[in-house]
Structure 1
Amino acid sequence: MSLALTLEGAQVLRPGGLDQAPLGFADGVIAKAPVGRAVDLSGYQVLPGIVDIHGDGFERHVAPRRGAMKDMGGGIEACAAELAANGITTGVLAQFFSWEGGLRGPDFARAMLEALGGVRDRVEVDLRVQLRLETHLLDLYAEFEALVVEFGVDYVVFNDHLPHERLAAGKRPARLAGTALKSRRSPEALLALMQEMHDRRGEVPGAVGALAARLAARDVRLGSHDDHSAQDRAEWRARGCPITEFPETLEAAEAARAGGDGIVLGAPNVMRGGSHKGNASALDLIALGLCDALASDYHYPSLWRAALFLERAGVLDLAGAWALVSAGPARLLGLDDRGELSPGKCADLVVLEPGSGRLVATFAGGRVAWMAGDVAARFLG
C-alpha cells in the first residue's frame, strides 16, 4: 500500500543540497506540499533511493549451491529484500548470456527472466534486468535477440571473456576444467569451442554492429564492458553503445568522458581502494571526474557505503557522492522519474540514522520496503 506521509525535522537531500523543509509523498510520488500524517524524523537524514545500474549479487540467492535452483522466484524475492535493506529502490539484475555456461549460460538466462516476471509484482523494489552478451557467441545472436524482444529487456551490454592471447598462442586457458564443468562440456570440447570462436573473431565487428543497430531501433540502451583503450571506447561508441561499464584504464575512461559517454564504476572497487583485477582505481577515476554512476557489481551493501565514504574522505560533497548512486545511474538508464527528491518524482527514498550513518529505512514508490531499529517507532507512533 502506498502511504501518504510528511517527513518533518529531517535533513533532506534535494537537488539544491540539504535542507530541513518537510518532505511529503502520496500515491507513490513526492508531493509539492505536506500531505497525510506527519512523522517526526528530527536528527535523521533522508536521501533519494539508490538506483543500482549493474548488480549480479542476485546469483547467490537464485543458486546458492551448484544444482540448488529449485525455487528461483523465491530467490529473486529474497534478493529484493536484500536490495531494500541496502537502500536500493531500483535494481538492475545483470545476467550473462555466455558460452561459459552455468549461471552464465543461455538456458539459465531464460529461466531467470521467467522467474523474474513471476515475482516482479510481488516486491516493492523495481526489479529490472541487463543482459550481457558474449560477443563471440555468433551462432546464438538470433536466440539472444529473440530473448530481448520476448522479455522486453531494455539494457544490453556487450562483453568478451575469451582469453584471446592464450588461444592465439595455442595454450590452454586458465581454469579450463572448472569452466568446462559449469558449461557441462568436457575440457576438450570447451577448448575446441573457444578456439572456434577465437578463429571467427574477424566476423564479430560486423555482426555485433548490426545487432547493436537492431537493438537500438527498439530503444534498448547499449553499453560495453571492460573497455581497455581509447580505441575500444571509440569502436563501441560508433556502434551506438554510449555507456562504458568498468573501464579498465585511465585512457579508456578519459576517452569516454571526451566522447560524452556514460561511465559506470564499481562501488566495491571504491571500498577496497582498488580493483581486485589490478585495473584502474575507481577512487582515482572519481577524483578526476571520470564517473557518472556507481554499481554494486557483486556486493549490494557497497553502494551506500561507497557514497558515504566518498563524502567523509572529502573526495565529493554529499550531494555529489550520493548522485553517483541515484541521479547518475537513473540518467544513464533514461529513468527521468527517479533519482532525486523533487515533486512528481517517484517516492523512492532512504533514511539514515544520526551519528552512525546506518541505513535504517527504505521506501520504494511510497511503500515501506525495509525498516529496522528505533526509526520504526517514529513511523508507527
Structure 2
Amino acid sequence: MWIADIRLALPDRVVPRAALRIEGGRIAEIVEGAPRGPALDGDGLLLIPGLVDLHGDMIEKEVEPRPGAAFPLDVAIGELDARLAASGVTTAYAGLSFAEGKAKHIRTEERARGVIEAVARMRDSLRVDLRVHARFEVTNLRAEPVLRDLVARGLVGLVSLTDHTPGQGQFRDVEQYVRWQSHAYGEDPAAAAARAQERMGAPRAWDVARGVTALAREQGLPIASHDDDTAEKVRLMRELGATISEFPVTLEAAEEARRLGMTTLMGAPNALRNASMTGNATARAVMQAGLLDMLAADYHQGAMLPAVLGWVREGLVPLHEAVALVTSNPARAAGLADRGTLLPGQRADLVLLDDSGAAPRVRAVWRAGQVIHSDGWSARAAAQVAEAA
C-alpha cells in the first residue's frame, strides 16, 4: 500500500512531497515525488513515526478515576488504549507505582500486580504496543518480592527508581511539598508538614534497589532514575544501572546525566505549559541548554504532539528534531531498534496529522501497517483509490 502526497519527517530532514509504501507491516519503500501505482492521497499532510512514550501515569487514573471508584481492569485498560491510539502513541510504557502501602490505595503492591497482569493478558488484543513501566519507590521495603516476581516473569518492560521523600528530588523545598499536598489533596497544612517530617526520617532501601536493578539488567530491561536534583544523586543512579534520567529537576542534574552518557527525559505537559507543577526546571530550559533527549506523556498523553509542534512553531527546534523527541530518541533509549524512524525496514508505526493549526489533528494512525485509529480519513482515502481503480 502506498501513501502519497505527504510531507515526511525523516531522521535528518523533512521531505516536502513524498510517498511511502507499506508491505508486511513494515516500511518497504520511500520515494520523493509521486509513487509508482495506486495510493492513498495524503492531502499534503505530515507523516511521522508512531510516538513512543516511556512514562505515562494515566493508567492509574483510568483504573480509579475517583478515590474509591475502581473500574474493571479490562474496561480501564481498553479506554487508555483508545486514548493513546487517538493521540498518535503506538508504543507506550504504562507507569505503575509500588509506593504507598495503604490497603485501599491504587499504588499498593498487590493493586499494581493486578494491573500489570491484566496488561499482559490483554496485550495481544490492544491497539497500541502497551508495556509496563514499574516504578519502585526506594522507601517501600515491602515491594521488592512483588516487583522481583513480575520482572522475572517478563511482565515488566522498564524499571525506574523513585524517591518522593520531601527535602530532596521533586520536593527539595519542604514548604512546596506542604503547599502541593494541601492544594492537590486538600490536606491540612499542619498535617502535611508533620507527615513530611515523618517521611524524611524513613529509611531508603538502596540495597533492595541494587537487587532490583541487577535483576532488571539480567532481563535486559532499561533502568531509569527519577526526579534527580543533584549531580551526586545522578552518579548514584548511574552506579545502580540507570541509563535514563527522568524529569531532572535541576540543570545541574541534567548536565551530570549528559556527562555520564545518560539520556534525559522531561514531561510533555511541562513543555506544553512551560511550567513545572512543583516549581522545578522546565522542559524548555533543559532543551535550550542542549540537554534534552526525550519528552514523555507523564500525566497526559495528549500533550506530546502539541508540545513538540509548539516548539517548532516558535522556531525553537527544527521539525525533524522535534519529532525525534517523541519517536526515535525514546525508542533507542528503550532498546527498541525496530521503530521510531521513517526508514525502509522499520515497523510501519505511523501517524498522519494536520499540523497547520494551533492544535495538531491526528487523522490516522497505523501500528505495524494496520490502522488503529482514524477520524474517517483512511476510509475516505481508500474509497477514492477504489473508485479510481
Which band: TM-score by shorter chain? Answer: 0.7 to 0.9
> 120, 135, 139: which one pairs with 1:136?
139
Match of 1:266 in 2: 267
Alpha carbons of structure 1 residues 284 and 200: separation in structure 2 relative to 1, 3 Å: closer
> 12, 16, 38: which one pairs with 1:16?
12
Hey, what's the Cα distance between the residues in 1 that align with 2:164 and 2:225? Answer: 12
Match of 2:366 in 1: 363
User: Which of 327-336 and 51-60 deviates more?
Assistant: 51-60
Q: What is the CA distance between 1:70 and its match in structure 2?
A: 3.9
Contact in 1 for aligned 2:7/2:14 (Cα 8 Å): yes
Q: What is the CA distance between 1:129 and its match in structure 2?
A: 0.8
Structure 2 gap ranges (5+):
169-174, 385-389
Contact in 2 for aligned 1:253/1:290 (Cα 8 Å): yes
User: Which of 336-345 and 31-40 deviates more?
Assistant: 31-40
SS of equivalent to 1:305: helix
User: Superposed, which structure 2 residues align to 1:206-355 within 5 Å?
Assistant: 206-353=207-354, 355=356
2:114 matches 1:118 = no
Q: What is the CA distance between 1:50 and its match in structure 2?
A: 0.5
Contact in 2 for aligned 1:50/1:339 (Cα 8 Å): yes
Hey, what's the Cα distance between the residues in 1 that align with 2:200 and 2:83? Answer: 38
Hey, what's the Cα distance between the residues in 2 that align with 1:139 and 1:275? Answer: 31
Alpha carbons of structure 1 residues 303 and 354: separation in structure 2 relative to 1, 3 Å: closer
Hey, what's the Cα distance between the residues in 1 that align with 2:37 and 2:69? Answer: 46
Contact in 2 for aligned 1:63/1:72 (Cα 8 Å): no
Q: What is the CA distance between 1:292 and its match in structure 2?
A: 1.0
Match of 2:172 in 1: none
SS of equivalent to 1:344: coil
Q: What is the CA distance between 1:22 and its match in structure 2?
A: 1.5
The count of corresponding residues between Structure 1 and Structure 2 is: 361
Amino acid at match of 2:12: G
Alpha carbons of structure 1 residues 199 and 308: separation in structure 2 relative to 1, 3 Å: closer
Match of 2:387 in 1: none
User: Which of 244-253 and 5-14 deviates more?
Assistant: 5-14
Q: What is the CA distance between 1:240 and its match in structure 2?
A: 1.0
Q: What is the CA distance between 1:280 and its match in structure 2?
A: 0.3
Match of 2:28 in 1: 31
Q: TM-score scaled by structure 2?
A: 0.86
Alpha carbons of structure 1 residues 272 and 48: separation in structure 2 relative to 1, 3 Å: same
Amino acid at match of 2:70: M
Q: TM-score scaled by structure 1?
A: 0.87
Percent of pairs with identical residues = 36
Alpha carbons of structure 1 residues 227 and 320: separation in structure 2 relative to 1, 3 Å: same
2:99 matches 1:103 = no
SS of equivalent to 2:106: helix
Contact in 2 for aligned 1:25/1:35 (Cα 8 Å): no
Hey, what's the Cα distance between the residues in 1 that align with 2:303 and 2:125? Answer: 25
Contact in 2 for aligned 1:10/1:41 (Cα 8 Å): yes
Hey, what's the Cα distance between the residues in 2 that align with 1:113 and 1:376? Answer: 34
Q: What is the CA distance between 1:197 and its match in structure 2?
A: 8.8
Hey, what's the Cα distance between the residues in 1 that align with 2:274 and 2:112? Answer: 32
User: Superposed, which structure 2 residues align to 1:131-210 within 5 Å?
Assistant: 131-163=134-166, 174=178, 175=181, 195=198, 198-201=201-204, 204-210=205-211
> 7, 15, 22: which one pairs with 2:3?
7
SS of equivalent to 1:89: strand
Which deviations, in whole Å up to 9, do the C-alpha atoms of 1:91-140 show, x marking residues without a partner?
A: 11011011254121111111101221222111221001100011022243
Contact in 2 for aligned 1:223/1:242 (Cα 8 Å): yes
Which deviations, in whole Å up to 9, do the C-alpha atoms of 1:147-179 show, x marking residues without a partner?
A: 2222431210001123368xxxxx9x9559x98
Hey, what's the Cα distance between the residues in 1 that align with 2:270 and 2:99? Answer: 24
Which deviations, in whole Å up to 9, do the C-alpha atoms of 1:230-279 show, x marking residues without a partner?
A: 11001111111111100000100011111110101001001111111100
Contact in 2 for aligned 1:124/1:365 (Cα 8 Å): no
Alpha carbons of structure 1 residues 35 and 154: separation in structure 2 relative to 1, 3 Å: farther
SS of equivalent to 1:119: helix
Hey, what's the Cα distance between the residues in 2 that align with 1:47 and 1:215? Answer: 31
Over the aligned positions, Cα root-mean-square deviation in angstroms equals 2.7
